[in-house]
Amino acid sequence: MEQTYIMLKPDALERGLMGQVLSRIENKGYKIVKAELKQLGEDLIKEHYAHIADKPFFPELAAFMTRGPVLALVVEGDNVVEGMRTLMGPTNIKEAQPGTIRGDFATNMTENVIHGSDSTETAQIEIKRFFG
């Protein structure tokens, strides 16, 4: 069974969206096999976002991701990586359609409610990074 890493970002928890987002995941037929509230530190943020750490918006992103807890998840199901990417919607909220998590809940490019692995390879790296 395929697994992916999903993270509900601080804005999702601050706005009380956790239940709605988890329901969407489960209603799609996916199984949440691990869940843990975590307060992320700067070192973990730098590792996780190493591919964009040199971008001018990175300090704002790091401040956002460390301002409150996140909910780290391992989600399992058939074709779950691609399915979750569709369920989440594009990172660019201007492109996110209504009915997707980001289309319905994201407020801007940084505060876009959810992160999901973009491939099975990335999923395994991120699951190890956040769950050991």
> Catalytic residues, which ones?
115
Structure confidence at residue 27 (pLDDT): 98
Q: Which long-range contacts (CB under 8 A, 24 or more apart) does 127-132 make?
A: 127/3, 127/5, 127/74, 129/44, 129/47, 129/48, 130/5, 130/7, 130/36, 130/38, 130/44, 130/72, 131/34, 131/36, 131/72, 131/74
Across 115-132, average pLDDT: 97
Structure confidence at residue 24 (pLDDT): 98
* Model confidence pLDDT, tens digit, residues 8-55: 999 999 999 999 999 999 999 999 999 999 999 999 999 999 999 999
DSSP-assigned states of every residue in 40-61: --HHHHHHHTGGGTTSTTHHHH
| DSSP assigned state of 24 | H
Structure confidence at residue 115 (pLDDT): 97
Domain 3-131 has CATH 3.30.70.141: yes
What the block records as the tokens of 24 is 């969407």
Residues 6+ apart with CB under 8 A from 45: 61, 62, 65, 66
* Model confidence pLDDT, tens digit, residues 49-99: 999 999 999 999 999 999 999 999 999 999 999 999 999 999 998 999 999
* C-beta neighbour count of 55 within 10 angstroms: 11
SS3 64: helix
